[in-house]
Amino acid sequence: MLVFLLRWFFGWTDFEVHDNYPERFLNMAHKNGLHMWDMQNANGIFSAKAKSSDIKYIRQIAEKSMCEIHIVNHHGFLHTFKKYKNRFGLIVGFILWGIAIKYLMGFVWNINITVPPMINEFEIRQELRELGFYEGARLDSFNAERVKNDIFMKDDRISWITINIVGTEAEVNISQNSALNIDNREKIPASNIISTADGTVTRMEIKSGYSALKVGEGIHKGQLLVSGVKEYTDGSSALFDSNAYIYAKTFRTVTMSIPKSFETLQKQADTIIKNDIDIMGIVFPLTLHGNPQGNYIKQTNRYQLDILGHGIPVYIVSETWQKYKKQPVHLTDKQAETLLKNKLQLYELFMLYSADKATVLNKHLTFSQSKTDYILTAEYAIEEDVAQKNIIQIKDTSNSGT
C-alpha cells in the first residue's frame, strides 16, 4: 500500500522498447541501478513501467544499446497536477479535501461490539446511542469512562465492559453477569434416541437410557433405538435424557459425471489495473480508462488510508482486470477417470465429515460413459453412528380445567 502511494505521488511512466533482443538494454539498466516493474516482452516489443524521474536515464541507455524507446503514458499526482496547475478550482478543492479529512478524524466512524450469546448486540447499541456513543459521534462529545459507568449501572446483565478508542474506531467488549442465570437454568429435557439410516447394528455405547437392541440386528430409519422412559413394576414411570452411540453398517451409492468436451479459461498476458479513491462512499477515478470489454476477470482490493495511525473514511480501491481466453478441452478415458476419482475423493471427505464417526468398510467403483459424458458410480459400505437425539414432548396439564 505504501509503495503504491509513493509511486502515485511521485509519478510513473509506461514505456516501450522496440528491439528484437532487449537483453543489452536490460543489462545496462540493471547495471545503472534503474528499477522497473510489470515487464513484458512480446513480438519484439519490451514494455515496462518506471519512475518518471528515471525516464531520462532510460532514454540514454536505450540510445547506447541502439534501441527505440516510446513513451506510452504518464501516471501519478505530479503529472495530474502539472496538467491542471492552471485550474485554481482544483487546487482549492485539494485544500478543502485536506481540511475535510482533518475534520472527519474527529468522529467515531466504526464501533465493533463483542457480546456474549445471551445479550443482543442491537440492544447494546441502542443503550450506547442513548448515552451519546454511536457511529458518527464526535470524539469530544462523550467521555468513555462515563459511558462505561452509566451502561454498567443501567443494564444489570453486564458484569464488565471495556471501551477502547483508536483513531476513528472503537472496540467494545462486554461480559455477561453469570449470577443472573443461577436460578434460571433450563432443566435437562427427556429424550429418546432414534436411527438416522437403515442398516445393521455393529456395536453400541449406551451411556443413559434403556434399549433391547442387539449387535447384528437390522434397523430402519426413524426406529426407536434407546428409550428415555423407564417403567417400573408398580406401574409408575420416570423420564431420562438418553445418551448413546449406536454404530451400524449402512450403504450408500453415489454417481458422478464429467462431460467429454468442455471449455476452460487460459490466462493471457493482458492485465489492466484501475484505481479509484472512495471518500465517504463517493468514488472518484484515479485512472481515466473504463472497464475493458471481453473475457476479463476482475479482482478488487480495498485499502483504508490512515493519518498518523488514525483511520479515516477514505479508501483506495484497486481493480486488476486479467484477460482469459476460452480453450476447448477434449478428455481421454484415462484423464476422465482420474478427474472423476479426484471428485470422488472430495465427496468422501465431505461424507466422512458429515456422517458422525464414519469409517469406509468397503467400496466398489464402476466406470462407464454415455454419448456426451464419462460416468463413475461408487457403492459404499460404511460404519457410522446412526443415533439421533429426539426430545420427548411433554404436555403441561397443570393449568388445565377439570
Q: Which of 35, 129, 31, 22 is nearest to 66 (CA)?
A: 22
Question: Phi first, then psi: what are they for 266, rounded to 5°?
Answer: -110, 130
pLDDT band at 1 (very low <50, low <70, confident <90, very high): low
Q: Which of 160, 242, 263, 231 is nearest to 195 (CA)?
A: 242
Q: What is the pLDDT of residues 140-177, one digit of tens each?
A: 887 888 888 888 777 777 777 888 888 788 888 888 76
Asked if the domains 2-81 and 110-181 are classified in one and the same CATH topology, the answer is: no
- Mean pLDDT, residues 199-203: 94
Classify residue 94 as exposed, middle or buried by CB count within 10 Å of its CB (0-12, 13-18, 19+).
exposed
Architecture field, domain 2-81: 2-Layer Sandwich (3.30)
- Mean pLDDT, residues 264-292: 84
Question: The pTM is what?
Answer: 0.42
Domain residue ranges in the chain: 2-81, 110-181, 191-248, 255-261+330-384, 263-326
- Mean pLDDT, residues 265-280: 86
Q: What is the pLDDT of residue 33?
A: 82
Range picked from 131-140, 300-309, 331-340 for highest mean pLDDT: 331-340
Q: What is the pLDDT of residue 402?
A: 42
Residue 102 has pLDDT above 70, yes or no: yes
Distance in angstroms (rounded) separating the CA atoms of residues 226 and 208: 9
pLDDT band at 401 (very low <50, low <70, confident <90, very high): very low
Question: Phi first, then psi: what are they for 372, rounded to 5°?
Answer: -120, -15
Residue 182 has pLDDT above 70, yes or no: no
Q: What is the pLDDT of residues 214-248, one digit of tens each?
A: 999 999 999 999 988 877 666 667 787 888 999 99
Residue showing cell 462512499? 281
Classify residue 191 as exposed, middle or buried by CB count within 10 Å of its CB (0-12, 13-18, 19+).
buried
Q: Which amino acid is at 311?
A: G
Q: What is the pLDDT of residue 216?
A: 92
Q: What is the pLDDT of residues 110-125, one digit of tens each?
A: 888 888 877 888 888 8
Q: What is the pLDDT of residue 315?
A: 87
- Mean pLDDT, residues 71-86: 72
Q: Which of 223, 240, 219, 241 is nearest to 231 (CA)?
A: 240
Q: Greater confidence, 301 or 41?
A: 301
Q: What is the pLDDT of residues 282-333, one digit of tens each?
A: 888 888 777 888 888 888 998 888 776 677 788 888 989 899 888 898 999 9
Range picked from 86-90, 142-146, 379-383, 393-397 for highest mean pLDDT: 379-383
pLDDT band at 184 (very low <50, low <70, confident <90, very high): very low
C-alpha grid cell, residue 362: 468397503
- Mean pLDDT, residues 97-102: 76
Residue 356 has pLDDT above 80, yes or no: no
Q: What is the pLDDT of residue 194?
A: 93
Distance in angstroms (rounded) separating the CA atoms of residues 231 and 211: 13
SS (H, E, C) the chain: CHHHHHHHHHCEEEEEEECCCCHHHHHHHHHCCCCEEEEEEECCEEEEEEEHHHHHHHHHHHHHCCCEEEEEEEECHHHHHHHCCCCHHHHHHHHHHHHHHHHHCCECCEEEEECCCCCCHHHHHHHHHHCCCCCCCEHHHCCHHHHHHHHHHHCCCEEEEEEEEECCEEEEEEEECHHHHCCCCCCCCCEEEEECCCEEEEEEEEEECECCCCCCCEECCCCEEEECEEECCCCCEEECECEEEEEEEEEEEEEEEEECEEEEEEEEEEEEEEEEEEECCEEEECCCCCCCCCCEEEEEEEEEEEECCEEEEEEEEEEEEEEEEEEEEECCHHHHHHHHHHHHHHHHHHHHHHCCCCEEEEEEEEEEECCCEEEEEEEEEEEEECEEEEECCCCCCCCCCC
Q: Which class would CATH give 110-181?
A: alpha beta
Widest CA span in the chain: 110
Residue 180 has pLDDT above 60, yes or no: no
Q: What is the pLDDT of residue 400?
A: 47
Q: What's the mean pLDDT when you consider all of the chain?
A: 82
